[in-house]
Every structure is written in C-alpha cells, then in structure tokens.
C-alpha cells in the first residue's frame, strides 16, 4: 500500500472504512455526559420527592395536589441518560463489519448516533434550566 501510494504521489493512510472506534468513543462520551446530567436529575427528583430538601420553581403541576411542583425536567434528565445508555449498546454493534464495508452497520450507526446527539443537547438545555429553577437547597 505504501509503495503504491508513493508511486502515485499519494499519501498513505490506513483504511478507515472499518475503523469505527472514534464514533463509538464519541457515542460513549455522549452517554457519559447524559449519565452525569441524569445523576443530577435523579438527585433533584429524589430531593423533591422527600419534599423538604429542595424547592423548585416552574415544575409540572399535579392533578392530585395542586400545591405540588413535579420535577419534570429532573425526570426527563434521567430518561435521556437511560436512553443514551441503551443506544450505546447499539453503537457497539456497529463495530462489527463484514469484509470491511458493512452497509447494515453504517445504517445502524446513523440511525442511532444523531438521536444520541439530540438527546445530549436536550439534556444540557434541561440541566441548565433545572439548575436555574432551584430556589432553595437544604434546610
């Protein structure tokens, strides 16, 4: 490969078609980000459930208790973290390519990866909004 590239005046680079580890690493990073934000959301949801550790503004209303503010954004952070974690297993399936060029693996990769990016962006937005809604923490 190197000799042919030199004769043709081309650069020599390794095959990239089946080297999907960079995308898998990126997907893993997305899952780590949403996982951390999901932990924040879970902590807020648990504190709100106790009813004494945190006060939030702008939560979801309750049909049973009109005075209650449900931590909807916190719960959404947990759901987005779990969503990305489950999509990550699909991304790892895309690492298996037959004969260096799997159309099925590439298709699966691009079914999953954009959704993970959108979920991460949504989680970042929700976490920033949720942090701004904390009126008091601890008593």
* Residues identified as active-site: 62, 101
Encode 103-131: b = buried (16+ Cβ within 10 Å), e = exposed: eebeeebeebbeebeebbebbeebbeebe
Give how far Cα 9 sits from Cα of 1, 5, 16, 64, 129, Å.
12, 6, 20, 74, 54
35 dihedral zone (left: phi>0; alpha: psi -120 to 50; beta)? alpha
Cα angle, residue 109 at apex, residues 99 and 113 outer, rounded to 5°: 160
Dihedral over Cα of 27, 29, 30, 35: its sign: positive
């Amino acid at each position: 490969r190197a000799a042919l590239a030199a004769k043709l005046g081309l650069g020599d680079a390794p095959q990239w078609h089946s080297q999907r580890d960079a995308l898998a690493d990126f997907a893993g990073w997305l899952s780590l980000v949403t996982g951390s934000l999901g932990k924040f959301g879970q902590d807020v949801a648990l504190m709100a459930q106790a009813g004494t550790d945190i006060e939030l503004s702008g939560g979801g209303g309750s049909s049973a208790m009109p005075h209650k503010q449900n931590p909807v954004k916190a719960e959404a952070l947990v759901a987005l973290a779990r969503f990305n974690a489950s999509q990550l297993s699909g991304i790892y399936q895309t690492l298996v390519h037959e004969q260096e060029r799997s159309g099925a693996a590439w298709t699966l990769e691009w079914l999953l990866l954009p959704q993970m990016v959108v979920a991460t962006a949504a989680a970042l937005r929700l976490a920033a909004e949720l942090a701004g809604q904390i009126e008091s923490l601890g008593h």
